[in-house]
């Protein structure tokens, strides 16, 4: 098995599970034990955050109710707030997913520390200025929570799932500028034997159910880290805003949002596979249809959304143009079909799309008979993956890709 095969997530997961199994007996309980007992970052329950971060209000930017729906420390973008916007999601409208709270970080003393057995020398540090001096690159890419659309497992499929009940607004597309992670890894002395990197945030330890899981962190195979991952310090042409990871975050295109660690502080580089609760306990597809150890969540799935409020109202007999966006972690969208009640019709694409962004589209509609109607949009990506009618259940409600039934009223 070659190292580059690890960008194929199925291979990655199988390989890691095998390596892990070789070392420890793998059972669900074993995984949880490993999680709870094997973490270096583990500190006493209730310990205060350390380092340069300090807890503040959960989210710093304003969250006007016409733009965001707030769930505790998280806020999703209302899809009607994307109507009339350009290709990119403005920072003021970009969803926020915080395990704890947006920290305040002093960029003058901030350092990115790399360490571990996968480096030829000792630990290496980069200041913000060091990073600004390295060759930069810009990419347009979506960041989407793996739980985006989770509420539809319940409302459409009648299934219970755990986690934030997102509708479809836990996604945004931005223009990110920064340094390639590969540039920094090579400068830090990456060896040929390195297999995983473990980026870690500076926000407070995540404590849940009385257990301190330590800093938010999730391993990434070196093959993906070298492929297209960015250490981003700009978002839509301005310094990264506090809520989105200032001063530096990871942008891991096409993969679950959890990979894109914000407020980056440290990166462990290892010759042996790494684990954290975010790849053993969370972000695994678990349930009757999956293997006992679950399937690792890596790449995002195909989804579509109308730029409309839930229960949008239309005047009977009026000519409308319905607009929306579709996206997939597999790459570009090839086609989008819309059903307004009389069968599927192909939507027209609007503007160009970025490989790792979304596709805008529109379709005319004559709102006919007064009453309740259902709008549906179904996208197909370049790999041929199409949104199904039903997403197989997983207990934590990840990767909902089924066609969403969007209710509207004609009055």
Residue 181 near ligand MTE by CB under 6 A:
no
What torsion do the CA atoms of 365, 79, 303, 91 make, to the nearest 10 degrees?
140
Among 78, 97, 360, 376, interactor with ligand MTE by CB under 6 A: 97
Residue 145 near ligand MTE by CB under 6 A:
yes
261 binds, among Mo ion, ligand MTE, none (CB under 5 to 8 A by kind): ligand MTE
Residues 137-156 that bind Mo ion (CB under 5 A): 145
Residue number with CB closer to ligand MTE (94 or 400): 94
In the complex, what is the shortest distance from the CB of residue 252 to Mo ion, in angstroms, rounded to a whole number?
12
Residue number with CB closer to Mo ion (262 or 376): 262
Residue 95 near ligand MTE by CB under 6 A:
yes
* Cα–Cα nearest to 64, from 46, 90, 40, 86: 90
260 binds, among ligand MTE, Mo ion, none (CB under 5 to 8 A by kind): ligand MTE
Residue 82 near ligand MTE by CB under 6 A:
no
Among 179, 216, 305, 379, interactor with ligand MTE by CB under 6 A: 216
Among 151, 260, 270, 395, interactor with ligand MTE by CB under 6 A: 260
Residue 266 near ligand MTE by CB under 6 A:
no
Residue 265 near Mo ion by CB under 5 A:
no
166 binds, among ligand MTE, Mo ion, none (CB under 5 to 8 A by kind): none
SS (H, E, C) the chain: CCCHHHHCHHHHHHHHHHHHHHHCCCCHHHHHHHHHHCCCCCCCCCCCCCCCCCCCCCCCCCCCCCCEEEECCEEEECHHHHCCCCCCCCHHHCCEECCCCCCCCCCCCCEEEEECCCECCCCEEEEHHHHHHCCCEEEEEEEECCCCCCHHHHHCCCCCCCCCCCCCCCEEEEEEEEEEHHHHHHHCCECCCCCEEEEEECCCCCEECCEECCCCECCEEHHHHHHHCEEEEEECCEECCHHHCCCCEEECCCECHHHCCCCEEEEEEECCCCCCHHHHCCCEECCCCCCCCCEECCECCCEEEECCCCCEEECCCCEEEEEEEEECCCCCEEEEEEECCCCEEECEEECCCCCECEEEEEEEEECCCCEEEEEEEEEEECCCCECCCCCCCCCCCCCCCCCCCEEEEEC
Residues 81-110 that bind Mo ion (CB under 5 A): 97
Residue number with CB closer to ligand MTE (12 or 94): 94
Residue 257 near ligand MTE by CB under 6 A:
yes
Residue nearest to Mo ion (CB): 145
Residue 244 near Mo ion by CB under 5 A:
no
Of the candidate spans 18-26, 61-69, 92-100, 323-331, the one that interacts with ligand MTE by CB under 6 A turns out to be 92-100
Of the candidate spans 48-56, 135-143, 255-263, 292-300, the one that interacts with Mo ion by CB under 5 A turns out to be 255-263
Residue number with CB closer to Mo ion (145 or 213): 145
The site for Mo ion (CB under 5 A) is made up of 97, 145, 257-258
**Which residues of this protein are in contact with ligand MTE, per CB under 6 A?**
94-99, 143, 145, 201, 203, 216, 244, 257-258, 260-263
């Amino acid at each position: 098995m070659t190292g580059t095969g690890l960008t194929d997530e199925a291979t990655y997961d199988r390989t890691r599970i095998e390596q892990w199994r070789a070392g420890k007996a793998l059972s669900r309980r074993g995984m949880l034990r490993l999680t709870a007992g094997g973490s270096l970052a583990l500190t006493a329950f209730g310990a205060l955050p350390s380092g340069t971060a300090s807890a503040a209000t959960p989210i710093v930017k304003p969250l006007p109710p016409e733009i965001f729906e707030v769930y505790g420390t998280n806020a999703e973008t209302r899809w009607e707030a994307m109507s009339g916007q350009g290709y990119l999601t403005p920072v003021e409208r970009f969803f926020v997913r915080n395990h704890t709270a947006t920290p305040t970080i002093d960029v003058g003393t901030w350092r990115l520390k790399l360490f571990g057995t996968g480096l030829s020398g000792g630990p290496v540090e980069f200041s913000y200025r060091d990073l600004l001096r390295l060759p930069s690159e810009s990419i347009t890419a979506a960041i989407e929570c793996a739980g985006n659309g989770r509420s539809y497992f319940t409302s459409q499929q009648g299934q219970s799932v755990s986690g934030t009940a997102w509708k479809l607004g836990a996604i945004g597309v931005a223009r990110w500028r920064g340094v390639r992670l590969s540039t920094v890894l090579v400068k830090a002395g990456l060896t040929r034997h390195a297999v995983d990197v473990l980026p870690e945030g500076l926000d407070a330890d995540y404590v849940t159910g009385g257990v301190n899981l330590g800093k938010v962190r999730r391993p990434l195979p070196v093959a993906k880290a070298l492929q297209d991952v960015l250490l981003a310090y700009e978002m839509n042409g301005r310094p990264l805003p506090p809520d989105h990871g200032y001063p530096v975050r990871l942008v891991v295109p096409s993969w679950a949002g959890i990979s894109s660690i914000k407020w980056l502080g440290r990166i462990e580089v290892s010759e042996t596979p790494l684990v954290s609760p975010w790849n053993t306990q969370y972000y695994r597809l678990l349930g009757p249809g999956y293997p006992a150890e679950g399937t690792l969540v890596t790449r995002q799935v195909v989804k579509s959304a109308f730029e409309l409020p839930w229960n949008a109202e239309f005047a009977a007999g009026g000519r409308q143009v319905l607009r929306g966006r579709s996206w997939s972690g597999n790459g570009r969208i090839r086609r989008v079909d819309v059903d307004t009640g009389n069968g599927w019709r192909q939507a027209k694409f609007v503007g160009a799309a970025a490989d790792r962004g979304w596709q805008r589209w529109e379709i005319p509609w004559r709102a006919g008979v007064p009453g309740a109607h259902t709008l549906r949009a179904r996208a197909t990506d370049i790999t041929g993956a199409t949104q199904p009618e039903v997403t197989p259940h997983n207990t934590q409600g990840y990767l909902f890709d089924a066609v969403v039934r969007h209710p509207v009223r004609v009055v």
